[in-house]
Amino acid sequence: MVETLVMLAAGLAGTAFLLALWRFVKGPAAADRVVAFDSLTIISITGILLVALAEGRGIYLDIALIYALLSFLGVIVIARYLEGGL
Amino acid sequence: MEPSLVNAFPPTPLNLIGGLLLVAGTAFLLLGGLGLVRMPDLFNRIQAGTKATTLGTLLSLAGVACLQPDWSLKLLLIGLFILFTNPLSSQVLARSAHRLGSKQSPLTRVDRLAEDSGEAP
Amino acid sequence: MSGLTHLLALLLALAMLGAALVTILGRSLPIAILASGLVSLCASVLFLILAAPDVAMTEAAIGSALTTFLFFFILGRMRRELPGVEFDDDPATPAVTAAPVVPSASVIRAERVERLASSSSSSSSAGAPAVEQGQAPGGKDHG
């Protein structure tokens, strides 16, 4: 029962990943791709959570923590570059 | 190599709540991805791609915390990071795009940033 | 390894292929850098699925973060010091020079012009010819 719900969650997260990836490939401007990149990072945090659940290993959450930090820094650096201030 | 998910989570009420929270969170992620594809201009995409995914990730973190109560501290830390940094990064990106004169949807009625900086609305 | 991780691994491999194609086929340098960062992200989650959390952590910190930041810092510096070369061929991306005049951007640009003028007048004997020679083939390619 719970396992079915976890599998359903993985399917939904995978579909969300594919949709954001489509925006990344298609996105007309660079800023669109930056938004898609940010969303992809956050969706992959949930993917890491699901993998940690499936394997039952709590140490995998450290990588999710690193990504939670890095998406912020990356978006700020890229926004500064696009503004012309880097 | 058999699926480790089988029999890992007995259907206790807490585990059921956790699974449902997980599905709700990923459904919000899916809605965010759908908005990212369907929205007409950059600012709407930023809104869909940031707000919906923030809520979705927080709900998923709550679901995992219900399923594995031992990981609660680390999950809380991840949730706090996402809650603080995600709106900030989206705001920085939106301000940069506005400054570069990114194209707006013709349905846009209000542009407070342009009014505040004295440009034509 | 369960069905869930198999599904996620297949999806990530597909995403890596797509991002690598964007990196190769795209015409804009910042977008290529972003796409290579996406390849690193997918590779990191894939390492995690293959039960190597330390490799995944290193890939996340070095490949996805440090390399991307370094590329963007260097690209910004090259844009500052070689004003004639255009790195972003994508017509959909608004160029910085064509942006509407706002105070901060114009101030930054004026500072850059001043710094360029002072540096070229002071060190024109050594630095300028080498820079011009190095930049000529790249300019032809882009034009």
Q: How does pLDDT run across C33-82, given as a tens digit for each residue?
A: 999 999 999 999 999 988 898 999 999 999 888 999 999 999 888 888 88
Q: What are B48-69's pLDDT values in tens digits?
A: 888 999 999 999 999 999 988 8
| Cβ burial, residue A44 (10 Å; 0-12/13-18/19+) | buried
Record the pTM: 0.80
DSSP C28: B
Residue B120 has pLDDT above 70, yes or no: no
Dig out the tokens for B8 from the structure: 């890992």
Tokens 């034509």 sit on residue: B120
Q: Does this complex have an ipTM over 0.95?
A: no
A23 reaches C (C-beta below 8 A): no
Contact C20, C40 (CB under 8 A): no
**Within the 106-135 window of chain C, which residues sit less than 8 Å (CB to CB) from chain A?**
108-109
End-to-end distance of chain C based on CA atoms, in angstroms?
51
Nearest Cα of chain C lies from the Cα of B23 at a distance, in angstroms, of: 14
Nearest-Cα residue of chain C relative to residue B114: C102
Q: So what's the pLDDT on residue C120?
A: 58
Does the structure show a pLDDT above 50 at C131? no
pLDDT grade for B2, boundaries at 50, 70 and 90: very low
pLDDT of residue C119: 64
Residue of B nearest to C96 (CA): B100
Rounded to whole angstroms, how far apart are CA atoms C87 and C141? Answer: 11
Q: Which amino acid is at B121?
A: P
Mean of per-residue pLDDT scores for chain C: 72
Interface contact A69-B85, CB threshold 8 A? yes
What is d(CA B56, CA A52) in angstroms, rounded to the nearest whole number?
Answer: 17
> How do the domains of chain B map onto residue ranges?
13-101
pLDDT at A45 over 80: yes
Helix locations, chain C, DSSP H: 3-25, 29-49, 53-58, 67-81, 103-122, 127-142
B7 φ/ψ angles, rounded to the nearest 5 degrees:
65, 10
**Which range is least confidently modeled, A52-66, B100-114, C82-96?**
C82-96
Interface of B with A in 50-79 (CB under 8 A): 50, 53-54, 56-57, 60-61, 63-64, 67-68, 70-71, 74-75, 77-78
> Could you tell me which residues come within 8 angstroms of residue B32 by beta carbon, excluding any fewer than 6 positions away?
A16, A20, A39, B48, B49, B50, B51, B52, B53, B56
Q: Which chain B positions have a beta carbon within 8 Å of C102's beta carbon?
A: 99, 117
Of the candidate ranges B32-36, C27-31, C38-42, the one whose mean pLDDT is the lowest: C27-31
In single-letter form, the type of residue at position C81 comes to E
Domain residue extents for chain A: 2-83
Residues 6+ apart with CB under 8 A from C57: A62, A63, A66, C44
Non-local (6+) Cβ contacts of B20 within 8 A are A5, B63
| Mean pLDDT of the residues in chain B | 84
Is C103 a residue whose pLDDT tops 50? Answer: no
